[in-house]
Structure 1
Amino acid sequence: MNTPSPSGHEHPQGSPVRLGALAPLTRPGWVEAGRHLLAGLDLAVREVNGTGGIGGRPLELVVRDTAADPERAAAAVGELADLDVAAVVGEYHSVVARAVAARADALGVPYLCSSAVLDDLTGEPTEWVARLPPAQSHGWRVYADFLLGTGRSRIAVATQPSLYWESGARILRERLLPHGGSVVELDASALTPEALCDALADHGATALLLLVGQPEPAVPIVRAVRRDRRLADVLIGAPAGQPEFAAWTAALGGDGTGIPFLRYLPDELGPPGARVGGELTECLGEEPSFVAFEGWDTVAVLAEVLRSHGTDRAAVAGAWPRVEVDGTRGRIRFSRVPGISVWQWAWAPVRVVDRDPARPERFRTLHTG
């Protein structure tokens, strides 16, 4: 049984309440996702401090770059624990978040996962970890249902070695096969984009799903498929959300449109979400992604926990099932979901969207989960 690390001794009035924030801010991490996540976290912290902080004490982010490296992230959790953080937040990459969750659980440090979806964040059920985004099994089943609705049943997945991609391929296969679908995996690490196109043509695939990193090899694969006349009717999809960010359109232009992906935002934001969205647009200089909203919601939840239950780490972890907060995308509360080992918000909104070929900056809703 884990015992909590000490969350500090008596704090002088006005000393900061620290949150450890983890995000991929350098390559090979998905830097754009890390920047949006951090923008959401930072905006919410500034708003909390503008309304009196935590019992008169300012909230402070202590940021560490994970660079998509699980070992680096786990080491950062240990460092942040020694810096007396009340909790750890953040991370985008699922395999990294899994390492963070394991280390936080071992040290007795509360961890609110902002943006990683892998179902199995911890090997065993834990009281220390909670999560905002939908579990992968939930979101990717919605995506599989979208594919079935389009009548596309011969699915190819371009994939790379990773627990996250392997899990995604398994979820798709389990959902599609009982309905007469088929899923063939193509190793994007071994095949050139041109060879991958040949394989698609040979298999008669009606859809290609990109279970690969961005920009490499996703961007070259899209370019190759778009230019191959044999594949003119093949749907390109990206359930992990590669087209969400502006860098996708900057790299691919029109080739990057019409590629369905999962987006964890409602069709229409309510007043809180619209206000935060406007603020995030100013901070980022571009439209915020769903990841930026996840960052803001993360701090909103923890601010409520810290104000209501105090900054002791055990008290923070004990508050997961009791906290309820109006976030940017709905009412947030945590529960135990079968098959999920952490406290889970069930669920954030899930939509399948794409970028409109006529207006690439516009997202079209194709399916709602």
Structure 2
Amino acid sequence: MNRDTRPSPPGAERADGPSVRIGVLVPLTRPGWVEAGRHLLAGLELGVRDVNAVGGIGGRPLELLVRDTAADPEKAAAAVDELAALGVSAVAGEYHSVVARAAAARADALGLPFLCSSAVLDELTEQPTERVARLAPPQSRGWRIYADFLLGAGHRRIAVAAQQSVYWAAGTRILRDHLAPHGGTVIECDMSALTPAALCDALVDQRATALLLLVGVPDPALEIVTSVRRDPRLAELLMGAPAGQPEFAQWRSSLGADGAGIPFLRYLPESLTPLGERVAKVLRERLGAAPSFVAFEGYDTVAVLADVLRSHGADRARIAAAWSGVAVEGTRGKIQFARTPGISVRQWTWAPVQVVDRDPADLDRFRILHAG
């Protein structure tokens, strides 16, 4: 079995007959965010195991055909073509927003339903479509909640250390538009032109009180954090990472105490549903670490698809038409899709959003600082 194609997880013994196939897109190799991809896939695979343990889809096992996107939009689009030719009923997954956008465009053009698990870019498709639905909250909602947190904490001069990306540019624009009416200023620091040491000098010169890390992990995020923590001039500076970089174990193991107290967005409620509590326990055993919100997004993706497939069959057009009628109890609440102003796809409008950080007194504990 090659790395890109995996059969259904164990648990299909109660289902028989030809499988119902779902194509899955996840980043499993660099430069993709591999740890996020591993969590997303773990949730997806556990969801399939649970579906197949109770008879699958009308007695047929649910099967995942997994493709590694490696954070490459062209590779993702090609994978959608391949999966469509293999007869999958739908495509699901993906973590990186620019990759999910390419996959969504290709799936829409092929008439293939796509349930996006974890990418947040508002403009997932250029034109409104009924074929694409999304579980993660749109970037505009999450990052506005993050901006409200910054304002509530008294920050008005906010620097962003950003790399070149449609995603980071969209985030910067959201922050600026939301902060400006409240007297907030966004100071852009281009990390293609600055070293971490030069960034520290710029932060001092600009009198920034907060720095947001709009950059990849491990590079250059880890080096930036270390440089800022070692600079006594920036002892009072708040560092933040709205894209969720501190969520994963690599952050903790690489930075230790330096990685604590850096607020980030995660998409979890204050309390999981009973299903979520059960899933969390199994995912912790499978991952060898606490499951991230991305793992729950993976599980909820399968829960939604299984419900649609059982109710409407495996026909692609019927699946795409079914998004508006979804009402599924997931790990983080009831999932329903609606048309949200400014969003071109069917959206889970009420996905939970939190601002959290790692507790400096206990690096394995997350403190909820703000919720929206």
TM-score category (smaller protein): over 0.9
TM (norm. structure 2) is 0.95
Counterpart in the other structure of 1:90? 93
Is this contact kept in 1: 2:21–2:64, CA < 8 A? yes
Counterpart in the other structure of 2:56? 53
Q: In structure 2, what is the Cα distance between the partners aligned to 1:101 and 1:314?
A: 15
3-state SS, counterpart of residue 211 of structure 2: strand
Is this contact kept in 2: 1:157–1:210, CA < 8 A? yes
Counterpart in the other structure of 1:279? 282
Which structure 2 residues correspond to residues 157-196 of structure 1 after superposition, within 5 A? 157-196=160-199
- The letter for the 2-side match of 1:246 is A
1:62 aligns with 2:65: yes
1:322 aligns with 2:325: yes
3-state SS, counterpart of residue 202 of structure 2: helix
CA drift of 1:250 comes to 0.5
CA drift of 1:362 comes to 0.2
- The letter for the 2-side match of 1:136 is Q
CA drift of 1:270 comes to 2.2
Is this contact kept in 1: 2:273–2:330, CA < 8 A? no
Counterpart in the other structure of 2:262? 259
Counterpart in the other structure of 1:128? 131
CA drift of 1:242 comes to 0.1
Q: In structure 2, what is the Cα distance between the partners aligned to 1:83 and 1:130?
A: 22
Counterpart in the other structure of 1:229? 232
User: How big is each residue's C-alpha offset from its partner over 1:94-148, in whole Å with a ceiling of 9 and x where there is no partner?
Assistant: 0000000000000000000000000000000001100000000000000000000
Counterpart in the other structure of 1:349? 352
Counterpart in the other structure of 1:44? 47
Is this contact kept in 2: 1:17–1:54, CA < 8 A? yes
3-state SS, counterpart of residue 210 of structure 1: strand
Q: In structure 1, what is the Cα distance between the partners aligned to 2:255 and 2:133?
A: 36
Q: In structure 2, what is the Cα distance between the partners aligned to 1:34 and 1:199?
A: 34
Which consecutive unaligned segments of at least 5 residues does structure 2 have? Answer: 1-15
Which structure 2 residues correspond to residues 301-340 of structure 1 after superposition, within 5 A? 301-340=304-343
Is this contact kept in 2: 1:133–1:347, CA < 8 A? no
Q: In structure 2, what is the Cα distance between the partners aligned to 1:267 and 1:196?
A: 36
Q: In structure 2, what is the Cα distance between the partners aligned to 1:316 and 1:87?
A: 8
Is this contact kept in 2: 1:95–1:163, CA < 8 A? yes
Which consecutive unaligned segments of at least 5 residues does structure 1 have? Answer: 1-12
Is this contact kept in 2: 1:21–1:64, CA < 8 A? yes
Q: In structure 2, what is the Cα distance between the partners aligned to 1:95 and 1:189?
A: 19
3-state SS, counterpart of residue 325 of structure 2: coil
- The letter for the 2-side match of 1:351 is Q
TM (norm. structure 1) is 0.96
Q: In structure 1, what is the Cα distance between the partners aligned to 2:366 and 2:258?
A: 15
Cα RMSD of the aligned pairs, angstroms, is: 0.6
User: How big is each residue's C-alpha offset from its partner over 1:167-200, in whole Å with a ceiling of 9 and x where there is no partner?
Assistant: 0000000010110010010011210000000000
Which structure 2 residues correspond to residues 65-76 of structure 1 after superposition, within 5 A? 65-76=68-79
Q: In structure 2, what is the Cα distance between the partners aligned to 1:237 and 1:347?
A: 24
Counterpart in the other structure of 1:8? none
